[in-house]
Amino acid sequence: MCRSIKTLRPPMTPEATDEDVRAAALQYVRKISGFRAPAAHNQEVFDAAVTEIAEATQRLLDGLHVRGTARG
């Protein structure tokens, strides 16, 4: 589905930055909504979705334990 979203978990990516997480969330929302950039009347809900998905993604990455890697 979202081929341009890269894997963010270790060991694939040693440390995902906030920018990496937000970029992945933005790509996801773009794919799901079908809009690369929303119209002005949809901007607020589009941005809120990106923020919520970025936060959920960060919680997921923070909670994952991958064998053979140290937890931070």
**pLDDT per residue as tens digits for the range 29-65:** 999 999 999 999 999 999 999 999 999 999 999 898 8
Report the number of distinct structural domains present in the chain.
1
52 located within any domain? yes
Name the H helices within the chain: 18-33, 43-63
9 located within any domain? no
Compute the distance between CA of residue 46 and CA of residue 8 in angstroms, rounded to an integer. 22
Compute the distance between CA of residue 30 and CA of residue 28 in angstroms, rounded to an integer. 5
pLDDT of residue 71: 56
Mean pLDDT of 11-30: 87
**Model pTM?**
0.81
Q: Note down the domain range covering 57.
A: 18-63
69 located within any domain? no
Instruction: Examine the pLDDT at 72 and tell me if it is beyond 60.
Output: no
